[in-house]
Structures are given as C-alpha cells and as structure tokens.
Amino acid sequence: MENVKYGVTSTYLYKLDDERLKWLANKVNRTTGQLNFLFQLCDGDFEKLKALEVRMKNCFVTYCPGDVEEVEKIMEMTPSKIWFELE
C-alpha cells in the first residue's frame, strides 16, 4: 500500500461501488475521494472501512489518515464513549 497516493486513482487497487460509497459519504460526512482513498488503506474491505469511520468518530479523529500505519494506530484507540454507530 505504500504506492497509494491520495487523489491519484491510477494507484488504487480496489473499487468501491457507487451505492455503498454514497451511502457512507452521507453517513460520515466525508468526501467520496477521501473514502475511496481510505478504502485502499483498508485493503478493499468495506467492513474495515466502516469500523475505521466509527472508531474515528468515537475517538474524535478529525483528519484523514495518510497511510496504513495511521489507520492501524486509529484502530488501536479506545473511545471513552460510543456515541456514533453505523447500521
């Protein structure tokens, strides 16, 4: 995943379908470009992407992680309270 560059879709290995992309963008208030990038960092795993978004919201992470290591650090965080969930 080191070769994935934000906004350079030619470096993306995975394609998130438009229906799920738009649904998630609406729920988490993130751009489709950011979500497509994060989808790459989640190895094309939609469930992991959803879990990442939930963790980011509940831990008040306001930035878009730039690499896999940042994603893993966020996933290791423990929220003090669960206030955001995705159905």
| d(C-alpha 16, C-alpha 72), whole Å | 20
Structural domain of 22: 14-76
Counted domains in the chain = 1
| d(C-alpha 44, C-alpha 11), whole Å | 13
pLDDT at 21: 96
pLDDT at 26: 96
Q: Is residue 86 part of a domain?
A: no
Q: What is the mean pLDDT of residues 76-83?
A: 95
Q: Is residue 2 part of a domain?
A: no
pLDDT at 1: 59
The two three-digit tokens of residue 19, written as one number: 């229906």
pLDDT at 41: 96
pLDDT in tens, 11-69: 899 999 999 999 999 999 999 999 999 999 999 999 999 999 999 999 999 999 999 99
Q: Is residue 31 part of a domain?
A: yes
| d(C-alpha 34, C-alpha 76), whole Å | 21
